[in-house]
Structure 1
Amino acid sequence: MYSNFKRIRFLLIIVMLVFLGVSLYLVYFQLFEAKALNAHSANSRNYLDEGNIIRGKIYDQSGELLASNLDEGDKKRISEYPYSLAHIIGYDSKEHGKSGIESTYNAQLLGLSEDDLLGAMKDFMGKKGTGNDLYLTLNAQLQSYIFSLLESHKGAVAVMDPVSGKVLSLVSSPSFNTNEVDLNWQNLIEREDGVLLGRGAQGLYTPGSIIKLLTATALLESGLSLDYYDEGVERIGTSEIYNFEGAVEGEISLEEALVYSTNTYFANKALLVGPQKLKEVAQRFYFNASYPFELHHESSYIDYEEGMEDVDLAASGYGQGKTLVTPLHMAMMISGVSQNGNMMQPYIVKEIRSPSGTKLLETKDKLLSEMTSPSIGRQMRQMLIKVVEDNGYNYLQGLEIGGKTGTAENPSGKDHAWYISFAKGTSKELALAIVLEEEGISGGRVAAPIAQLIYEKAMQLGLID
């Protein structure tokens, strides 16, 4: 009898432990993983919920409608800008999942993101309705215009408000029609031009001369001499580094080296500054690091390690070698320079509102990194204004513009063309990064003119004055 009682007690303890384990497991997921599971585009519950929920709308910064259901009784999702916003809004397909904002904010658009008791009760009772609306920082008219400029190119453009970190445009070309993803899916995945890749945040490119901003900052911080005598070649062991188009500049300063984009200068100075200092500055520039952003994005990479070969260190100093960057990150970098060293955290979702218009979330501006001291930041800013003035990249009256071009060697084809720039008007500022793949000509000849057209359009739209 006593033996039976012990066995029963043992079994009860086992059952209670199992029950406790399951309870803790469920509590953990409810408290820590519920939002992620709700938002996941592969969650089949979302498709069941979508049968009863009118998915929320997506608007741009001015309130222009960007995406909505075809009508309240039809669950087909329609984008008003199916090509220019394809890599931002993304697609919403029962067959192929979701991408872009449609994926990242899936739970919010379905109104399933509540993790409080009221939200749980609503789900339990089966009460359904309309999802929440998103208001983006994007300007749809600017986005559409930039896309038209890139239609004959492969590449990307990122435009930011450098004061706040708001992303005003993020264009990727080539693109696709998000309203016809199911119809064209097989063709999209078989294409060889990477049409599904959001080049603005995911594309990784050799930067070329735009990386000289990092080398210049490290040089200024090091206190080393800024002077250099350029003979047109910098010899490192058995390797030789030349300037673009074989230029020979003679005695030059840092500012002149930026104006002329002198490769030999920055190769030499990178060796003098050394990998430790360059790595320290690169970390503040947010290389080899992830940063918060609502869309899937890659991290820019630069290799500065003790013991690295001199020729590799020299190459990284002027933007070649193993360095890879994204257009969005380069827009962040030039934004930071425009703000005397303060790099803001980028964001693309401004607000989330309930169906009744109640503001549920508002993104606040946030400082991401102090790239350098304010005094060195001001020096860098002024030197980039000089670069634009001396190279004739600004023909717009009333704007103070700084920038740097880049022509990046491409091991698999023709050179990529870069231009990063900032512009300041009376009360508003913009910053941008442009990369054009395999153009085979310099960034100053093909990318800088596009930047001027973008600034001109931004002035017409009142985004800069």
Structure 2
Amino acid sequence: MIDAKNRFLVIRIVLVVMIVALVAQLFNLQIIQGQDYYELSQRRMNASVVDKAPRGEILDRYGKPMITNRIGYSLQLQKTEISDARLNDVLAETVRILNSTGYTTQDTLPISGYPYEYTFADENGDGSAEDEKAAWFQSKTRITSDMSAAQVMEYYKKNSFGIPDGYEPQVERQVIGIRYEASLRGFSANSPFTLAEDVDMAVISKIKERQDEFPGIVVTQDYVRNYEMGQVAAHILGGIGKMSQEEYDAMRGKGYSYNDIIGKRGVEKLFEEYLRGEDGTNLDSTNLSGVVENVAPVPGDYVVLTLDADLQKAAEESLEKHIQALAARTGGETDAGAVVVLDVRNGDVLVSATYPTYNPATFNRDYQSLLENDANPIWNRALSGTYTPGSTFKPLTAIAALESGAVTAEELLRCDGIYRYYKDYQPRCWIWSETGRTHGALNVTKAIEQSCNCYFYEAGRRMGIDTIDQYAAMFGLGELTGIELPDEVEGNVSSPAYKERVGKTEEDKMWYPGDTIQTAIGQSYSFFTPIQLANYIATIANGGTRYKTHILKSVRSSTDGSVIYEQEPEVLAQVGVKEETLEAVKRGMLGVVDEGSASGIFADYPVAVGGKTGTAQVGNNVGNNALFVAFAPYDDPEIAICVVLEHGETGMNAAYIARDIFDAYFLNGEETDLKIKVGELLP
């Protein structure tokens, strides 16, 4: 009886303890941690799906779209439970379909197609290829730098991916590249891999018709960049692509995933922070309160450029037309050129054109063939090409001579066809070489108009190389103009220091009087970019203010259109040249167009233009480069132009292109109509 009572007591005690523990736990859950568990209950029950945001649009200065977005289709590889052998066969057949319809696959494996060779690029001639190669091998564990490209491919084929013999060489290389790239980018069930972007319906139809034969190959919809004006401004706009490991490391902590698409070149890269949107999330389920928690993506912002898209197009069309016509006449020697147009009032870049160019929509697909093109269409000649200025430098020499007192505006210097000041070096004026005549006595204005070499030989001798170099620097020659794009190079002003640096022998390093007088006519060791030459002319035209050049005009919000950033004009220097000096030089440039070498091209032109032709010797038994610089209107300048034609024979050939651009700017391409802009100028 006692035992029964004791057992009952024990049971009662156990029950009481359990009840107390339960109450304590309920108190803890509801009171102490109640808020935490409430928040937990509101959380998503399934992992969210990223809703990619479209990139911001790129507009010209008047709001004309240059790059927008459209919906495109991509082929995506998703993780499935199939063998490596089956996966390789699926990829091989997918590659064959892509190849048959003009598409190809992209990867970063630095090995060419068969016969295999390494493709590390030494773009600057500075040994960067070896550094790139060393870094790549350092990142690998099973392959070593003493292995040939063929050995590396064999290792990936057999050891890494189990690819069988029998595939066509091109297909085998592509399958290895896909497997390599997918592995590099963390291909998994949660991280699919994109095989090909922006494929057309021909590809999709072939895949869909035989879907059972392509396990893991899925057609997806993505935003694709739409180049509204085709290849116009390709070198400026740039392009996008998959992030590299180096880029991912540099952007770590900024919310990027390794598979994100980013700006890779040009404006797309330069203004990535504005163009990148904010991704949203999509959920198929709800939280415990029944509330759907989708977050809408926010598109990237509008980037407004200083470019005039219509003027850019006109410049590119004229450049192509005249180069092709000259090429037909010169047997193909004239094959490249560049144009830059600046607003002289603020440094805005209205046009930056390079020929040959490329299609930015297919740049990634065409990259290898573009690299192999001897004309180098990838090279941005407007910003990176450096050219001997020839006679386009003579206005600068005139300014330096007038300001230094080496000559006066009315002083007459005599041209006898041959410059005989030195006994052992007697260069000729172009007019003597071509006609046997002379220019006679000229003042500085007439010397510019007639482009008299003998006048500028004497002016250069009187003032010396240091004065020439001083004024060249004042006008920004041999210096960066400040444009935001990284393509720009400095060029060089001819100087004893430069010759000392590049000379290979003691005699090569010596500076001679002949070097000075050749510098004065735009030869010797001077070479400048088209954008530098345009900015130098803009500085003359606007009265002596050297502006920093700009490609960005403003950034506007994609949500409400508000201005996020607006570029203000930035003065780099006031050159401090007397007004009468600039007027004497500008009158000479007006004479070039009215009476001189460009008069036939601009006969009866309704807008007064100041200009200067240049024919620059380049040696190596190839044709001279042709240059033309100009500004207009003469009395109230708005724009400055530089045109360069590689092996274009004479500056007059370049002047035709400048006239086409003036037509497009002032006359809408017709000499009877005034220029009218449609749309409001965007800030």
Q: Does the TM-score normalized on the shorter chain lie above 0.5?
A: yes
In 1, are the aligned partners of 2:648 and 2:654 still within 8 Å (CA)?
Answer: no
Q: CA deviation at 1:390?
A: 1.1
Partner-residue secondary structure (3-state), 2:237:
coil
Q: How does 1:416-455 map to 2 (within 5 A)?
A: 416-424=625-633, 429-440=638-649, 442-444=650-652, 446-455=653-662
Give the equivalent residue in structure 2 for 1:330. 533
| Residue 557 of structure 2 is aligned to residue 354 of structure 1 | yes
Please tell me the residue identity of whatever aligns with 2:381: R
Q: Is the 8 A contact 1:131 1:355 kept in 2?
A: yes
Partner of residue 40, structure 1:
none
> Which amino acid letter does the alignment assign opposite residue 563 of structure 2?
K
1:110 matched to 2:110? The reply is no
1:217-249 CA-partner distances (Å, limit 9, x unpaired): 110011123432111112445333112252421
The 1:425–1:51 alpha-carbon spacing in structure 2 relative to 1, beyond 3 Å, is farther
Counterpart code for 1:98: K
CA-CA distance at 1:428 after TM superposition: 6.5
One of 265, 276, 297 as aligned partner of 1:99: 265
Out of 567, 579, 597, the residue aligned to residue 374 of structure 1 is 579
Q: Which amino acid aligns with 1:233?
A: I
Larger Rg, first or second structure (1 or 2) = 2
Report the counterpart of residue 285 of structure 1 in structure 2.
475
Aligned to 1:384: 589
SS, match of residue 75 in structure 1: strand
Q: Which residue of 2 aligns with 1:184?
A: 366
Establish whether residue 87 from structure 1 lines up as the match of residue 235 from structure 2: yes
**Residue 304 of structure 1 is aligned with which of 475, 495, 498?**
495
Deviations 1:377-402 (A, max 9, x none): 22222221122211215335542210
Secondary structure of 2:449's aligned partner: helix
2 CA distance for matches of 1:83 and 1:266?
Answer: 42
Equivalence map 1:172-211=2 (5 Å)? 172-211=354-393
Identity %: 27
Q: 1:65 to 1:324 in 2, by over 3 A?
A: same
What residue identity is the alignment partner of 2:395?
L
Q: Which SS does the other structure have where 1:241 is aligned?
A: coil
What is the rounded CA distance, in whole Å, between the counterparts of 1:434 and 1:302 in structure 2? 19
Say if 1:156 and 1:436, in contact at 8 Å, map to a contact too. yes
For the 8 Å contact 1:58–1:67, the answer to whether it is kept is yes
* Unmatched 5+ stretches in structure 1: 1-49, 113-125
Q: Distance in 2 between matches of 1:160 and 1:145?
A: 15
Among 295, 299, 310, the alignment partner of 1:141 is 310
TM-score of the superposed pair, with normalisation by structure 2? 0.56
Question: Structure 1 length normalisation: TM-score?
Answer: 0.81
- 1:463 deviation in Å? 5.5
The whole-number CA distance in structure 2 between the counterparts of 1:348 and 1:386 is 32
Higher deviation after alignment, 198-207 or 229-238: 229-238
| Distance in 1 between residues matched to 2:417 and 2:51, nearest whole Å | 68
Aligned to 2:459: 269
Pick the aligned partner of 2:419 from 234, 240, 243. Answer: 234
Q: Over aligned residue pairs, what C-alpha RMSD do you find?
A: 2.4
Counterpart of 1:279, as a letter, is D
1:409 deviates by: 0.4
Give the secondary-structure state (helix, strand or coil) at the position aligned to 2:595. helix
Q: 1:426 to 1:463 in 2, by over 3 A?
A: farther
User: Do the aligned residues in 2 keep the contact of 1:336 with 1:343 (CA within 8 Å)?
Assistant: yes
Q: Which amino acid aligns with 2:237?
A: I
Measured in 2, the distance between the counterparts of 1:57 and 1:396 equals 42
From the superposition, tell whether residues 342 and 169 of structure 1 become closer, same or farther in structure 2 (CA, over 3 Å).
same
Give 1:61's aligned residue.
Answer: 61
Where in structure 2 are the equivalents of 1:1-16 lying within 5 Å?
Answer: none
Contact 1:151-1:173 at 8 Å conserved across structures: yes
> Structure 2 regions of 5+ residues with no counterpart?
1-49, 73-220, 245-262, 279-294, 324-335, 498-509, 669-673, 678-683
Retained in 2: the 8 A contact 1:137–1:168?
Answer: yes
Matches of 2:552 and 2:588, distance apart in 1: 33
Segment drifting more, 295-304 vs 318-327: 295-304
Paired with 1:106 and 1:146, the residues of 2 have a C-alpha distance of 27
Counterparts of 1:379 and 1:184, CA distance in 2: 50
What letter corresponds to residue 419 of structure 2 in structure 1? E
Corresponding residue for 2:603? 395
Q: Tell me the CA shift for residue 51 of structure 1.
A: 7.4
Structure 1 residue 376, shift from structure 2 partner:
1.8
Deviates more, 1:288-297 or 1:304-313: 304-313
Residue 409 (structure 1) aligned with residue 597 (structure 2): no
